[in-house]
Chain A
Amino acid sequence: MNQWQRRLAYWRRRYDITDVVVWLFGLLILAVAVYGTVRSLQTTTYDSKRWAQFVVYGISQGGVYALIALGYTLVYGILFMINFAHGEIFMFGAFGALFTALALDKAGYWDGQPVLSLIIVLLVAMTTSSVVAVLVERIAYRPLRKAPRLVPLITAIGASFTLQYTARSFFGSGLRAFPEMEMLKGSVNVWGLEIGKSHALTIVVSLLMMAGLYWYVQRTKTGKAMRAVAENKDVAALMGIDVDQIIVRTFILGASMAGVAGVLYSLIFFQVKFFMGFVPGIKAFTAAVLGGIGNIPGAMLGGYFLGIFESLGPALILEGLGIPAPSQLKDVIAFTMLVMVLIFRPTGILGEAVAEKRA
């Protein structure tokens, strides 16, 4: 056996053929993306102001993703399972907001007392989402906590569909219009950049909520208990922590964030539908994975990154490739990113080395 054969044998032991295929696949996609970007930038269809607009839009969208992603990350951190129904919890929050807003609009408070109305709507949405989340946890997850891994995953998928189609039969299958608010029409000028008021509100509220959550998890007693349960359930129980209750509180915390996201989403798009939770749910999951699942700052970072990437992507990458109607493929970009992250860095940007069993 000469030196080359030995070296080849060594590399073959070290790297599987599938690794090579996967890496080639990744390089291919990267090359296409880079080529598209270069071509797009050369053709200069958009001026710098338009690009800035894309980024701002992406940040406000990303705030919504980040808020939903927090729910995935919190639950994953504690139960090591993906709460598939989380997108639907977000959707129920939006419906709670819709009905409150409609009632307030009818009574004339919606434009008369906009700030107060917004706070009421936020509170109702958070409550609605929390109630749904607690129900899901109680019925679909808690009895199966000791079951094999595939079992809670299947009930999670079941819960997701049950909630989606419950909303469909309760609230109708069509789009329901969210009342527009006089206060949020028009735009504000920040450093020479026109930002829609609802986008500005989204950015501010999502940042505030995340700061609040971070403080809650890091500084309060419940937050401490949550971190203890995430570390080791049995030891936490020995330390006098009521594990079941902490899990419920975690679900409530995640669901409240999803409820807020539901309100913000409705204020951007002014429509609510039973199916609205599915795509944001998967994207927020992507964001959570991107940041490192189980990692709270990671989920926030991942949300913003995904929002900006998705908002820039069609114009930046796909248009350069000469693809017509690139915004149709917006979701493809997000899904491809999900696949790429899971293949090449399943621990995410900020994720610590998660044991392989979990991934």
Chain B
Amino acid sequence: MQNATIWRSTVKAGLLTGVIAIYIALTGMVLSLSQRPVIGKLSLGHVVYMLVFAGMGYIVARRHVGKTQRALVPVHGALVGGLGAALLALLPIVGRKIDLAWMFVTAKPNLYKFLLFNQESTALGIGYLILTGAALGAATATLPVLPPVLHQALLGGASTTLLMGVLAELVQRTILKKALGPLFAYKGLKPWGAAVLFVALSVLFGLYAWWRQNHPQAQRSVPLETGPEPAWKRSLKLGLLLLLLLILPIWLLSKDTYLNSVLNLVGLYVIMGLGLNIVVGFAGLLDLGYVAFFAIGAYTVALMTSLGPLGMGYSFWQALPVAIVFALSAGVILGVPVLRMRGDYLAIVTLGFGEIIRILANSDWLKPFMGGALGVLDIPKPEIFGRVLKEEYQLYYLILAGILLTWFIASRLYHSRVGRAWQALREDEDVAEAMGIHLVTTKLLAFGFGAAFSGLSGAIFAAKVGSVYPHTFNLIISINVLSLIIVGGIGSLPGVVVGALALVGLPELLREFSEYRMLFYGIALIAMMLVKPEGFWPKRLNVYARPDESAPETAQ
């Protein structure tokens, strides 16, 4: 009886695997990512759907271990992978008989050919596909059965090697090339390079896992009773981090224009994320019109500094404070009408504000002042001490300064009186009001600070890109920023950086992927809320939290 339910759940997981794999294939992800080799001839397109088999096999094995005989766990994994692959195989079988392309634009013969490992014979291709699925499922399902150290070593080694293969371009354009260059082909890893990397990384991960097993006390972060770490240690860490950040673009990234422009984009999103983090993370006010303030910052700088007919000829440094003040005032002004609203209504009204601003900037009505759909062009680069910051790696320092400033303000605010008022507001508005918190000023401060950060980011954005168009400032930017703070961890400052690197940096580096970015964001929002609502770098509990109440905080 017990056994039957386990097998049934395995079959269910296998069917789910197949549905996910077919979904991924039909989105066209498989084919467009096949342009990027990861290891030898294995492309990212292969990796994407094979990861489904491997991942589902692993998840099922993790669930089943202990419930069934150890030797049977890999069999379950093989079943999951094989069943998934068999379902995926239905796609080419059906597709080669009936034309699906009039409905699904991606269901074309080249997709089927790719899925069947370039085999002309359907039967042979399906055989390969099912075998691959079963083998992958079995392989990953074996991991949880192994001793923990070996499990972690193999898992860590394999996933890091794959990641290195995916990010081969990053390695080859940076200082890492000098050390790891020979392992890489023109694109992706060489097969023997991948083997070497896998062994080396597995050993490293294994050693780390072994060390952690023998030093259980090191696993815990600083316990509350011992208080914060000593000041010298903190300053040393900060100093090293700062040094790393300072040499990042010129030494580590070797002044590479492309990588530095990606880095700068990430930086601009970090500034915005820190701002939205105040509104959403600290104060719990879900703002979907956040892009409006970014647009206000960008347009202020654009109109004040542009050399074109619309410009007023001020310098960037004169325009910057004006942009921030404008954005801040806009934040407060748009905050007033929504003071009474909560949750859903607030989200949709702010979304409306964002759209209104974009539509106005795009309209013929304001064209004489704001350029309409043609935007504002010829925005000069900022100048400092007579030097024009025209290269990306030079602009990086401007953005870094912005991040450090906003980070400092945000972290000081979090522990200030206002910050605590925000947190009280987030937990329960009525109780907060009863405790004597003035809702109006507290909320408006949150909106104002958030908007000011966004305005700063927009101002730098305008100067970096050199032109602004209204269609840049659509809802998608607001959603990007929201996703990155949720993936990183709501209310957590380092989480913003993690989120920006993962959600802005990675898709920029994998250009083939950028078409699926929004899809990925949408799925990430749902998946994070279901699986890991606290984010990948959750905020640390407040020092004044009582240890016995330190239950993991979730998004409020």
Residues on A facing B (Cβ under 8 Å): 16-18, 21-22, 25, 81-82, 99, 102, 139-140, 143-144, 147-155, 157-166, 168-172, 278, 282, 285, 289, 323-325, 328-329, 331-332, 335-336, 338-339, 342-343, 346, 357, 359
User: Does B94 sit within 8 A of A, measured CB to CB?
Assistant: no
List 7 additional A-B contacts (Cβ < 8 Å) besides A163-B522, A164-B522, A338-B348: A16-B440, A22-B336, A149-B343, A152-B529, A157-B479, A161-B525, A172-B105
Known: A22-B337, A148-B556, A150-B556. A171 touches B518 (CB 8 A): no
Within B11-54, which residues are at the interface with A (CB < 8 Å)?
23, 26-29
Can you show 16 pairs from A to B with CB atoms below 8 A apart?
Answer: A21-B336, A144-B529, A148-B554, A154-B525, A155-B525, A157-B525, A158-B483, A161-B518, A162-B523, A168-B518, A169-B29, A171-B103, A329-B360, A336-B352, A338-B352, A346-B345
Known: A144-B530, A161-B525. A331 touches B355 (CB 8 A): yes
Q: In the bound complex, do residue A151 and residue B555 qualify as a contact, i.e. CB atoms below 8 Å apart?
A: yes
Interface residues of chain A: helix, strand, loop or mixed (majority): helix
By beta carbon, the residue of chain B nearest A22 is B337
Known: A16-B440, A153-B286, A157-B288. A325 touches B525 (CB 8 A): no
User: Does B405 sit within 8 A of A, measured CB to CB?
Assistant: no
Q: In the bound complex, do residue A342 and residue B554 qualify as a contact, i.e. CB atoms below 8 Å apart?
A: no
A-B contact count (CB 8 A): 168
By beta carbon, the residue of chain A nearest B444 is A18
Known: A170-B27, A329-B363. A161 touches B479 (CB 8 A): yes
Q: In the bound complex, do residue A25 and residue B337 qualify as a contact, i.e. CB atoms below 8 Å apart?
A: yes
User: Does B397 sit within 8 A of A, measured CB to CB?
Assistant: no
**Chain B contact residues (Cβ within 8 angstroms of A): what range?**
35 or more
User: Does B349 sit within 8 A of A, measured CB to CB?
Assistant: yes
Q: In the bound complex, do residue B363 and residue A82 qualify as a contact, i.e. CB atoms below 8 Å apart?
A: no
A329 cross-chain contacts in B, Cβ below 8 A: 359-360, 363, 365
Determine how close the nearest CB of chain A comes to the CB of B398; give it in whole angstroms: 32
Complex Cα distance, B364 from A144, in Å, reads 45
Complex Cα distance, B340 from A335, in Å, reads 18
Complex partner residue of B526 from A22, A140, A325, A342, CB under 8 angstroms? A140
Complex partner residue of A153 from B28, B347, B353, B522, CB under 8 angstroms? B347
B284 cross-chain contacts in A, Cβ below 8 A: 150
Complex Cα distance, B486 from A332, in Å, reads 30
Q: In the bound complex, do residue A81 and residue B344 qualify as a contact, i.e. CB atoms below 8 Å apart?
A: yes
Q: In the bound complex, do residue A332 and residue B353 qualify as a contact, i.e. CB atoms below 8 Å apart?
A: no
Determine how close the nearest CB of chain B comes to the CB of A98; give it in whole angstroms: 9
Determine how close the nearest CB of chain B comes to the CB of A103; give it in whole angstroms: 9
By beta carbon, the residue of chain A nearest B339 is A18
Q: In the bound complex, do residue B106 and residue A143 qualify as a contact, i.e. CB atoms below 8 Å apart?
A: no
Determine how close the nearest CB of chain B comes to the CB of A42; give it in whole angstroms: 21
Determine how close the nearest CB of chain A comes to the CB of B436; give it in whole angstroms: 16
A343 cross-chain contacts in B, Cβ below 8 A: 337-338, 340
Known: A162-B522, A165-B516. A335 touches B479 (CB 8 A): no
Q: In the bound complex, do residue B349 and residue A102 qualify as a contact, i.e. CB atoms below 8 Å apart?
A: no
Within B147-174, which residues are at the interface with A (CB < 8 Å)?
none
Q: In the bound complex, do residue A161 and residue B521 qualify as a contact, i.e. CB atoms below 8 Å apart?
A: yes
